[in-house]
Amino acid sequence: MAGTVVVGATAHAIGTTDSTTRMRRGTREPMPTVTFGPIEVEFDGDLLTPRPWTIEQSRWAIAVSSSVPDGPILELCSGAGHIGLVAALETGRSIVQVDDVAVACACARANALAVGIDADVRCAPIEDAIGADERFPLIIADPPYVPSTETSGHAGDPGHAIDGGADGLAVARRCVAAARRSVADGGAVIVQLGGDDQARRLAAESGFSRSEVRSFGPDRALLLLREPVPAADRA
Ligand SMILES: C[S@@+](CC[C@H](N)C(=O)[O-])C[C@H]1O[C@@H](n2cnc3c(N)ncnc32)[C@H](O)[C@@H]1O
């Protein structure tokens, strides 16, 4: 995937998604792309196909942006980077994107380049990607959240992108722990999860004192977290 670039990013209404196929630049190989809000997203067959409903995470991040301090967005488990890129594009914030799969990072870089955003894409596990002194006012995370025993019901989706361990929250917990360390004072965190139940369980153990859940169907939810509780005050 290195060296491929999405061309012709155009403005679309947020929320529309159409599949198209382009040719990889300099080759005759087809390159799958979808329209995701205002951007055209290149992804790869080894990645999760961008899901239209997840534009809601971009939208919430855009809305929350006006209530947090200035500074970059951190996107954890970015995949091809589209959720964070829409938020960066619409808010004018810079963005750091983290994924531990090389092809995801290559797509994220290409997608950022195509819309003129100089994204800092870090190809590393969550814990290794963020410096101890770095702080982010707006953090979004889209971890794998399907319980391991249920991944067989998602044939065709790459296991690493969807397998969230025994209760589906293994990687989400790592994202929240990283967010607690890295969120700026007055900042906010928005995590994508596999439904209300997961969101409420994660909120309860998150170590943040304010939370809000938005549900988008039985297995789709977003969790907003604010105000991390200092480690010394946690039970
Ligand atoms: C549910 S997918 C989301 C990707 C993208 N946001 C999307 O909507 O297609 C989860 C992503 O997390 C990445 N991932 C899983 N475990 C990770 C880890 N420990 N550190 C960094 N990235 C991880 C996977 O490579 C995958 O791209």
Q: What is the CATH number of the domain that holds 59?
A: 3.40.50.150
Whether 11 is covered by a domain: the verdict is no
The b-or-e profile of 72-89 (16+ CB within 10 A means b, else e) is: bbbbbbbbbbbbbbbbbb
Of all atoms in ligand 1, which is nearest to the CA of residue 143? 10
Look at 29 and 58; give whichever has higher pLDDT: 58
Distance between CA atoms of residues 5 and 2, nearest Å: 9
Q: Is the CB of 159 under 6 A from ligand 1?
A: no
At residue 22, the pLDDT reads 58
Whether 73 is covered by a domain: the verdict is yes
Distance between CA atoms of residues 177 and 74, nearest Å: 14
Q: Is the CB of 83 under 6 A from ligand 1?
A: yes
Q: How many domains does the chain have?
A: 1
Of all atoms in ligand 1, which is nearest to the CA of residue 51? 8
Q: Is the pLDDT of residue 136 over 80?
A: yes
CA 78 to centroid of ligand 1, rounded, Å: 6
Q: Is the CB of 104 under 6 A from ligand 1?
A: yes
Whether 42 is covered by a domain: the verdict is no
Q: Is the CB of 39 under 6 A from ligand 1?
A: no
Q: What is the pLDDT of residues 153-199, one digit of tens each?
A: 999 999 999 999 999 999 999 999 999 999 999 999 999 999 999 99
CA 233 to centroid of ligand 1, rounded, Å: 31
Q: What is the pLDDT of residues 79-117, one digit of tens each?
A: 999 999 999 999 999 999 999 999 999 999 999 999 999
The boundaries of the domain holding residue 226 are 48-233
What is the value of pTM for the model shown? 0.91
User: For residue 83, is it left (φ>0), alpha (ψ between -120 and 50) or beta?
Assistant: alpha
Q: Is the pLDDT of residue 7 over 70?
A: no
The b-or-e profile of 146-182 (16+ CB within 10 A means b, else e) is: bbbeebeeeeebbeebbbbbebbbbbbbbbbebbbeb
At residue 219, the pLDDT reads 96
Q: Is the pLDDT of residue 63 over 60?
A: yes
Whether 197 is covered by a domain: the verdict is yes
Nearest CA to ligand 1 atom 14: 77
